[in-house]
Structure 1
Amino acid sequence: MLLTRIPLRIFSLLIVYALVSAAGLVCAQDIPPPDIPEAEVMPQPGLMPARGLVRIDAVTAYSSAVLPDTVHLEEIRVEATRLFLEDRLHAVRIFRADSSLVQRYRGAPLSSVIENEFPLVVRNYGPAGISSISVRGFGPGQTQILWEGIPVNHPMVGQTDLALYPASAFSSVEFVPGNSAAAYGSGSIAGTVHLGSGSAWRGASVTRTVGDYGLTRAGMDITDFSGPYTISLGASGFSSQNDYGYFDRIRQRDARRANADKEAFSLNGRVAYANGGWKAGSAVWSGYNRGGVPGSVIAGRTAARQNDNWLRWAGNAEYRHETTRYYTHGYYSRHNLDYLDERSRIDSRSISHATGLTAGLTSYISSWITLNGLLQGGRQWIDTNNYDRIRGRTYGAAAMTGVVELPGGFRLFPGLRSDLYSDFGLALSPSIGINLELFDRILILRAQYSNDFSAPSMNDLFWSPGGNPDLKPERGISVEAGASLAWKYRSLFRIALDGTVYRTKFRDGIRWAPVSGSVWSPANVAGLVAEGIELNQEFTLWLAGVRLDIGNMWMQTGISSDTPRFDGDPAVGRQLPYVPERTFKTVISVSHRFFTLFGNRIYTGERFTTADHSSPLDPLDAFTVINAGISVTIGWRNFYTTAGLIFRNLFDEEYEMIAWYPMPLSNRELSITIGYRPRQ
């Protein structure tokens, strides 16, 4: 579609707006930051050693308080694929936890939402350890985490500690397994997670939570909108001793976790404007997390401490003119990570920065063709005593994705992205997907092919000693196919079934190995094959004012190395460490006007601790964890009070997701929320 002179001028103004906003934040980066953290990280199975991020803990308090007849703002939806379509009509499956669902976890870490609501695995080191995501058997570095469309994965290690951030900081969470790099670039071989901010409801609330192991939490949020303006502000803080009991199998005695205390604070705000064809917004998210790092129980009592401190800003603007949408998006991110262990003589300090700018347009060329094109650029740089000097990288990208709607309910999704990095050069990411509606949209078939990549982390490139600046990006070629069946009978019930089969060939994986004495160095030598099945079932019943929701998620995951480390390597063809072959989840809730009962059951199959399955610990036992809770809301005029009680690990299951990192037995949390929501 030809662009007229007026839209081009408007587009130029949008770019100038984002540049000026980003420049203002970058100029502020010299303000001395507070102390922050680094810690213990879980290595990506078979690909790289532990370097990096630590974690914080949190809780799980439920407080749902949706009053009837309240003023409701349209939910802020994240663009999971950069294309505006109903979720079921994409070439990949999209899972969504909206604001009402996220409310259940407002006293908990982000990891609780993701672990309980989505078909994936969270590798949890316990309330005082990190929580990292594993999708389709891949490590956390192969799943891109985005907040307001900007990357959250730490550039030093290329992954995110999900327990670092409170769930209350987000209005929605979306999970897209198998999302192609053509949409969001590096780090999405396994998929993407999208975090939205801003509340969908006008009003204000304060929450107080107490729980076992010295847990206390307080939070508040307020949202107001008038005419074209929306303002949201939220804050939360918590502290916990995490001194839970466990049985020490080595010393054959009861013990308690030590050096596991945590405290954290998070502050987030969002301002948005929408009027006619114009939209603009600015969001800020800042916080800290500090405390002990208990380590494995083999090591006994430790003295390691870690501090994290972060600041993120995102600004966007868009203008719609006739059949074209012009948009621009800028961001700045800073994360301080300090890790200190006097006994081991480790003093690691780092400040990482990232900034970027995107300018693009979505054009509805005709009733059956939609194209989205963008130009993108950014820079990352890190100041740390783990590198020989300040190190950084610059990148640029151009991408084009689209939808071609053909007769008979057939949709075609072509995509191509080209990324240019200052350290390794060019990476091309083509993709093609299809979606086919049958039987009046009751049955939907979908499939996708994609060629994706993950850039080396900054530690891979510049760690001193051992970093390898000549590394290439990791590559993955993925093929998947799926089907969705949904049927609703009047206003009585709805049932939905969904299944996906996939296969990914992973090459040029980065693996660290000893090269001289105690020095390790990475190289592009690892190859993997991942294949599996994902099944999901949802059932909703409405009867006599009661709503019943039941969901089941089943995952069969096989991932193994096809590249020997040495002649006769017994690890070839064996399941990677800490990847369960079978995982099953059930989520159930019963709600009425003033109360909600909810619970979930998570079965995690056997895991291996070594690549060749040779350890006496192999395999770790399968385990089942059941959580349950109740929430009661009482309203008076525009005010309401919600009391929530949750029981985690209801039946005292003794288990370890990771060897020698015991998890808590049954524990409780009680929360009280007092809020105000104006009626229409």
Structure 2
Amino acid sequence: MTKKYQFSAVLLFCFFLGFSQEKAIDTVYIFDNQLKNSKKFHKIETLDEADLLKNTTNLSEVLRFQSPVYIKENGRGMVSSPSFRGTTAQQTAFIWNGININSTFLGQGDVNNLNLLGYDQLEIKSGGGSVIYGSGAIGGTIHLNNELSFNKGFHSTLFLEGGSYNTFNSFLKTSYSNDKLSVKVSGNFVKSDNYYEVPEKKYVNLNGEYDNRTFNLGAAYKLDHRNTISWQTQIYDGVQHYPVSSEDFTKTKYFSDTFRSLVAWDFKNKKIQNSFKLAYLQDEFQYFDHIENPKSSGGTADIYLAKNDLNYIYNDKIAFNIIGEYQFNKAEGYKSGISSVSRKAGSAAGLLRWNPSQKFYFEAGIKKDFVEKIETPLLFSFSGKMKVGDWYQVALNASKNFRYPSFNDLYWQPGGNLNLRSEISYQGELGNNFKYGDLKLNVTPYYINIKDMIRWLPNSKGIWSPMNTNKVESYGVESQFDFEKSFGKNKTKFSLGYIFTHSKNVETDRFLAYVPQHKIYGNANYRYDFLEFFVQGMFNGWTYTSDEEKLKDAIKSYFVMNSGINITVLKHYQIGFKVNNILDEIYETTAYYPLPKRNYSANLLINF
């Protein structure tokens, strides 16, 4: 065990010794205060800890079954990337407590290297958000949130799970808070041999094992009724062995280490709300082209960030928001042609919020980024929402967003291209929200146009190099139906989503690879007193795997269903059983990498 995890274990043990006390929640400290404003105009899917525990395999499973996002996964627990509204992983921004954490090298995030159970809440927002969240927030944003409650006393949660393929998952979280201080500590460990077979495909998932560890520490202290200081830190390291189709193939693996630390000072009175943040982020990776040999490539990236978010409330109808940010990024590669590079980046954004009545909301924003040696566009956003009646609300959103080239795009050798331009997108959506009693329906048609998309293609010398080649046009509809009802000891919840996506390369008039036209997902949950039963289903339509639209290589449509039962014993103990892929469906989200057939897990959840 490394020193950082020895220190983490000691902290966890000390807090775990605390006893539970029941107190009323005073306030909840949220690190991403901009997301609350977005909910007024955008449909945002919010998943709490109970939702996450229904798909504990990894973050890919959560997004696949409980969100409109399409997940492309190279086998269970392996490299995984998201697709919002017909865009790619590079046009998706991962936001950790209000901070963009996309890789400085790749310009994207690997879903399965973002540990699932270290967060109190997961929120999924479709649509552009570069004015607030910066580069890459084009198709959508995935928010990994931590919260701190005050005046709640001691509380601890222990989760243990065992499953098929010799999978073990454990999570321990403990917290203490009074009216001035709040501290939360958590740790997560996941390990799996991940050896499974799909005989119908003549596939065996050889060399597919993985394991990872995460430690989270959060703290907040109220200096007085106006000032709060807070700290959030996360440490992650993981190992993925990349699957091979035969014992004759060379076995490879990948190490990932992440350290994130964020300090914030929040001031609040009747007129002014100000949040000042300082953050340090470090990402390190090592790739081994043979698991028994020394690493063959790797890199380390460091990000130093300062951000100030000032909100001035002029009166009860008008507010002005000014956001300034500065970053210094540096990176050092190993056998990648990237020796030592650095980049300075800053931005200034202003937003006007107008709320003339209880029936109308308006927000307009403008932003300019300043990135060293890279030309960036002037961005804008516009949102308006009108309450037509108790049964119907309509919201209009339009924005200009962008992504600037990553370090790999610019400096990777051979192939890096220093002449790349930033990707630019224009988009609009019209959200229609209907409500009748306990029934809710959201229908949102959208349109996205991306120009100067950065793609790696063979150049005239046969070397793969990034180029500004594509113009992409995407349009479609996201819709979701929700029903929730409680009566006596009974509680039922049902959600059904349908997504239609039409995403094409304008120059070739061909559909983008790994963008299915149709996706349907549904979740049903019923609880009676101590007993809970849930069912999940997900249909994915025909999906091309290359830009050539070859039907013989396309992934056929599939329907996958999961089900589970939870039994609460003696109030504080919950025993759970789950069956994944009940129908024993043969399916894959990436060509040649089938996901497991029917498999099982059992878990124990203890609340102290």
- Partner residue of 1:392? 342
8 Å contact kept, 1:357–1:376: yes
State how far apart, in whole Å, the 1-side matches of 2:35 and 2:61 are: 28
5 Å-filtered alignment, 1:474-493, equals: 474-488=423-437
What's the counterpart of residue 499 of structure 1?
Answer: 443
**Counterpart secondary structure, 1:158:** coil
2:12 aligns with none
Which stretch of structure 1 is more off in the superposition, 109-118 or 277-286?
Answer: 109-118
Alignment partner, residue 403 of structure 1? 353
Counterpart mapping for 1:127-276 below 5 A: 127-198=76-147, 202-247=154-199, 249=201, 253=202, 255-274=203-222, 275-276=224-225
Per the alignment, do residues 345 and 266 of structure 1 end up closer, same or farther by CA in structure 2, a change over 3 Å counting? closer
Q: Is the CA contact 1:259–1:301 (under 8 Å) kept in the aligned structure 2? A: no
> Aligned letter for 2:281?
S
- What is residue 15 of structure 2 aligned with on the other side? none
Deviations along 1:476-508, whole A, 9 cap, x unmatched?
A: 0001111101233xxxxx110101011111101
Q: Which residue of 1 aligns with 2:403?
A: 454
Alpha-carbon distance, 1:71 to partner: 5.1
1:83 touches 1:372 (CA, 8 Å); kept in 2?
no
**Whole-Å separation in 2 of the counterparts to 1:272 and 1:581:** 45
Alpha-carbon distance between aligned partners in 2 of 1:94 and 1:397, rounded to the nearest angstrom? 25
Other-structure match for 1:327: 275
Q: Within the alignment, does 1:602 sit opposite 2:538 as a pair?
A: yes
CA distance in 2, matches of 1:511, 1:434: 34
Distance 1:596 1:215 in 2: 24
Q: In structure 2, what residue type is equivalent to 1:478?
A: Q
Q: Decide whether aligned partners of structure 1 residues 33 and 276 sit closer, same or farther in structure 2, where only a CA change above 3 A counts.
A: closer
How far off its partner does 1:72 sit? Answer: 4.5
| 1:611 maps to amino acid | D
Name the residue aligned to 1:415: 365
On the 8 A contact 1:78/1:194 being kept in 2, the answer is no
Q: Is the aligned partner of 1:96 residue 2:46?
A: yes
SS in 2 for 1:423: coil
> Shift in Å at residue 392 of structure 1?
1.9
For the 8 Å contact 1:102–1:171, the answer to whether it is kept is no
Q: Deviations over 1:183-226 (max 9, x none)?
A: 11211111111111246675112222111101112221101102
Deviation at 1:128, TM superposition (A): 4.0
Kept in 1, the 8 Å contact 2:99–2:133? The answer is: no
Partner amino acid, structure 2, of 1:132: S
For 1:367-386, list aligned pairs within 5 A. 367-385=316-334, 386=336
The 8 Å contact of residues 300 and 332 in structure 2, kept in 1 or not, is answered as yes
Aligned partner of 1:427 in structure 2 is 377
The whole-number CA distance in structure 1 between the counterparts of 2:542 and 2:269 is 55
What is the alpha-carbon distance in structure 1 between the residues aligned to residue 31 and residue 70 of structure 2?
22
Residues 78 and 240, structure 2, Cα contact 8 Å, conserved in 1: no
Q: Which amino acid aligns with 2:399?
A: S
Aligned pair in 2 of structure 1 residues 71, 404: CA closer, same or farther (>3 Å)? closer
CA distance in 2, matches of 1:381, 1:427: 23
Q: Calculate the TM-score normalised by the size of structure 2.
A: 0.92
Amino acid across the alignment from 1:291: Q
Residue-by-residue CA offset, 1:585-639 (whole Å, 9 max, x unaligned): 111000133221111100000011221213632x321000001111111235xxx
Q: Is the 8 A contact 1:182 1:401 kept in 2?
A: no
Shift of 1:33: 10
| Structure-2 change in CA distance of 1:600 and 1:452 (3 Å) | same
For the pair 1:351 / 2:300, whether they are aligned, the reply is: yes
Q: How does 1:274-673 map to 2 (within 5 A)?
A: 274=222, 275-295=224-244, 297=245, 301-342=249-290, 347-385=296-334, 386-407=336-357, 409-440=359-390, 442-488=391-437, 494-563=438-507, 572-614=508-550, 616-617=552-553, 619-635=554-570, 640-673=572-605
Q: When the two structures are aligned, how many residues end up with a matched partner? A: 587
Q: Deviations over 1:345-394 (max 9, x none)?
A: 98111111112101131011111111110111002111112134211211
Q: Counterparts of 1:430 and 1:299 in 2: how far apart (Å)?
A: 53
Which amino acid is 1:212 matched to? S
More strand by share: 2
The alignment-based identity, stated in percent, is 21
Name whichever of 157-166 and 231-240 sits farther off.
157-166
Letter in structure 2 aligned against 1:659: A
Range with greater deviation from structure 2 (422-431 or 349-358): 422-431
- 1:74 Cα shift? 4.7
Following the alignment from structure 1 to structure 2, what is the Cα–Cα distance between the partners of residues 543 and 361? 44
* Alpha carbons of structure 1 residues 634 and 260: separation in structure 2 relative to 1, 3 Å: same
Higher relative contact order (CA 8 A, sep 6+): 1
Amino acid at match of 1:268: N
Distance change in 2, residues 1:372/1:300 (3 Å)? farther
Q: Partner amino acid for 1:155?
A: T
Cα deviation, residue 166, structure 1: 2.6
Please provide the CA RMSD for this pair.
Answer: 2.4
* Counterpart amino acid of residue 512 in structure 2: L
- Whole-angstrom CA distance in 1 between matches of 2:171 and 2:338: 41
Amino acid at match of 1:498: N
Please state how far the C-alpha of 1:141 moved relative to its aligned partner.
Answer: 1.0
Q: Which amino acid aligns with 2:574?
A: T
Paired residue secondary structure (1:616): helix
Separation in structure 1 between the aligned mates of residue 294 and residue 266 of structure 2, nearest angstrom: 51
Cα deviation for residue 511 of structure 1 reads: 2.0
- In 1, Cα distance between equivalents of 2:339 and 2:4: 19
Contact 1:128-1:292 within 8 A present in 2 as well: no
Partners in 2 of 1:305 and 1:110 — Cα distance? Answer: 20
- Residue in structure 1 matched with residue 17 of structure 2 by the alignment: none
The runs of at least 4 consecutive aligned structure 1 residues that moved more than 6 Å come to 31-34, 67-70, 343-346
How has the CA–CA distance of structure 1 residues 291 and 408 changed in structure 2, closer, same or farther, with 3 Å as cutoff? Answer: closer
1:85, distance to aligned residue in structure 2 (A):
4.3
**CA–CA separation in structure 2 for the residues paired with 1:281 and 1:592:** 39
Query: Quick one: which amino acid aligns to residue 542 of structure 1?
Result: S
Q: In structure 1, how many angstroms separate the alpha carbons of the residues matched to 2:498 and 2:57?
A: 24
Secondary structure of 1:167's aligned partner? coil
1 CA distance for matches of 2:518 and 2:428? 21
CA distance in 2, matches of 1:189, 1:544: 44
Structure 1 gap segments, 5+ residues each: 1-30, 35-66, 489-493, 564-571
Cα distance between partner residues in 1 of 2:266 and 2:329: 25
Residues 665 and 190 of structure 1: CA distance in aligned 2, closer, same or farther (over 3 Å): same
Rounded to whole Å, the distance in 1 between the matches of 2:368 and 2:38 is: 27
What letter is aligned with 1:335? D
- TM value normalised by structure 1: 0.82
